Structure 1
Amino acid sequence: MSDYANKPKATGNIFKNGYKNKQTHPDYKSTITINAELLREMVEFIKQDTRREKGVDLSIAMWDRVSKNPNPKTGEHAQYFYTVVEIDTYKSDKAKAEQEATDDVFAEASVKSDSFEEEDIPF
């Protein structure tokens, strides 16, 4: 778990959409900047991805927060979501583990078949 703090991630805040005029407008809105370090890791992840459909899965975590400073117009403290975005490696780690297990089974079967000799055949 000590590696968690060192993983590149993007953080931001998602606020209630103050410009929502229609039902079709989003309830919450934000812009989160993907920093160069996280972007490099995403590109490297795609290069090394062995899955058929390559891509980067992003893990998004959100915490309810209340702003420390009140809004100057309303005097109210804004509620928002503190948000962390990072690469979710669960699917690729699972696929790698499955591939390694399959490779191990084939390697073991190959070793067994190499030790098989013609004189072992009963006919």
Structure 2
Amino acid sequence: MLGNGLAINVNSPNRAAAEALVDFLTSREAQCEIKRQSCTIPARKEVAEDRTLWRSDVHPEHYHVFVDVLPYARSIRDLGVTEEQFSFLENELHLMWARVESPDVACRRIAEEWRRRSALPTT
């Protein structure tokens, strides 16, 4: 699972507006809309787990499996993956997330490239 975050630059000339935007984007209303319109996991737990917001035309059949898997989640640091490896993986998964490629095809292609890169000498 990948996460996104919101932040306000400490030097923001419009701090109040930035705070208002963050407040809105993290509100129940906005989080519900995000879940209804995209295949992401909302930041608000009660919205993320709300099965009434699931849409078959937006979410995969097993969208809510994250609820069962989350206890087993580990950080990138725990997995021993470098920032470069993580960036590679994230970039390569976009085709699958966009439903251009099936998970099986994406995993095969990424595994082959990962093995190829691992075989290269490091500099």
Question: TM-score range, shorter-chain basis?
Answer: under 0.3
- Structure with the higher fraction of residues in helix conformation: 2
- Structure with the higher fraction of residues in strand conformation: 1
- Which of structures 1 and 2 has the larger relative contact order (alpha carbons within 8 angstroms, sep 6+)? 1
Select the structure of larger CA radius of gyration: 1
- TM-score, normalization by structure 2: 0.21
